[in-house]
Amino acid sequence: MRRYLLMLFLIMLVGLSNRQTSAETPNVIVIMADDLGYGDVSCYGATELKTPHIDQLAAEGLRFTKGYCSASTCTPTRYSLLTGTYAFRGERTGIAPPNAPAIIKPGTETVASILNRAGYTTAVIGKWHLGLGGNGGPDWNGQLKPGPLEIGFDTCFLLPTTNDRVPQVYVQDHRVLNLDPADPLWVGNKKPSPDHPTGLTHRDSLKMDWSHGHNSTIHNGISRIGFYTGGHAARFRDEDLADKWVEKSREFIEQHKDKPFFLFFSSHDIHVPRMPHERFQGKTSLGFRGDSIVQLDWCVGELMKTLDRLQLAENTLVVFCSDNGPVLDDGYQDGALEKIGKHRAAGPYSGGKYSVYEGGTRTPFITRWKGHIQPGVSDELVCTIDLPASLAALTKQTLPQNSCRDSFNVLDALSGKDKAQGRDHLVQQNNGNNGTYALRVGEWKLHRYDKKAARNVVVEQQLANSKVPQYQLFNLTNDPAEKTDVSAEHPAVTKRLKQQLAQIIKQ
Residues near ligand NG6 (CB under 6 A) are 34-35, 73-74, 95, 129, 162, 164, 212-214, 225, 271-272, 324, 330-331
Could you tell me if 183 and 229 are in contact, meaning their C-beta atoms sit under 8 angstroms apart? no
- Build a one-symbol-per-residue string for 213-242: x at contacts with Ca ion by CB under 5 A, - elsewhere: ------------------------------
473 is an interface residue for Ca ion by CB under 5 A = no
Which residues of 291-330 form beta strands (DSSP E)? Answer: 316-322
Query: Least separation, in Å, of the C-beta of 95 and ligand NG6?
Result: 5
409, interface contact from ligand NG6, Ca ion, none, CB < 5-8 Å by kind: none
| Residues 457 and 432 sit within 8 Å (Cβ to Cβ) | no
Beta bridge partners of 32: 266, 321
Could you give the maximum distance between any two Cα atoms of the chain, in Å?
A: 85
Cβ distance to ligand NG6 smaller for residue 162 or 415: 162
Q: Cα separation of 276 and 355, whole Å?
A: 26
3-state percent breakdown (helix, strand, coil) of the chain, nearest 5: 30, 20, 55
Segment near Ca ion (CB under 5 A), from 6-14, 21-29, 35-43, 261-269? Answer: 35-43
* CB 483 to ligand NG6: min, Å: 26
Of residues 34 and 358, the one with the C-beta less far from Ca ion: 34
The least distance separating ligand NG6 from the CB of residue 164, rounded to whole angstroms, comes to: 5
Q: Does 154 sit near Ca ion (CB under 5 A)?
A: no
> Which residues, in sequence order, are bridge partners of residue 189?
none
Whole-angstrom distance, CA of residue 294 vs CA of residue 51: 6
If phi > 0 it is left, if psi is from -120 to 50 it is alpha, else beta; for residue 287 that is: left
| E-strand stretches of 260-390 | 261-266, 316-322, 366-368, 376-383
- Three-state SS string over 220-254 comes to CCEECECEEECCHHHECCHHHHHHHHHHHHHHHHH
Candidates 81-89, 116-124, 243-251, 316-324 — which segment interacts with Ca ion by CB under 5 A?
Answer: 316-324
Q: Could you tell me if 42 and 49 are in contact, meaning their C-beta atoms sit under 8 angstroms apart?
A: yes
Say which entry of Ca ion, ligand NG6, none residue 212 contacts (CB below 5 to 8 A, set by partner kind): ligand NG6
Q: Which is nearer to Ca ion, 422 or 432 (CB)?
A: 432
Determine if 291 is a binding residue for Ca ion (CB under 5 A). no
In the complex with ligand NG6, the residue whose CB is nearer, 28 or 74, is 74
CB of 376 to ligand NG6, least distance (A): 30
164 binds, among Ca ion, ligand NG6, none (CB under 5 to 8 A by kind): ligand NG6
Q: Read off the amino acid at residue 504.
A: I
HSE at residue 284, side-chain half, CA atoms within 13 A, is 28
Least distance in angstroms from the C-beta of 319 to ligand NG6: 19
- Is residue 199 within 8 A of residue 218, CB to CB? The reply is yes
Q: How far is the CB of 211 from ligand NG6 (least distance, A)?
A: 9
* Interaction of residue 35 with Ca ion, rule CB under 5 A: yes
Q: Which of 74, 123, 328, 414 binds Ca ion (CB under 5 A)?
A: 74
Residue nearer to ligand NG6 on the CB measure, 79 or 262: 79
If one asks whether residue 297 binds Ca ion (CB under 5 A), the answer comes out as: no
Strands 366-368 and 62-68: antiparallel
269 binds Ca ion (CB under 5 A): no
Pick 323 or 482: Cβ nearer Ca ion: 323
Residues at the interface with Ca ion (CB under 5 A): 34-35, 74, 323-324
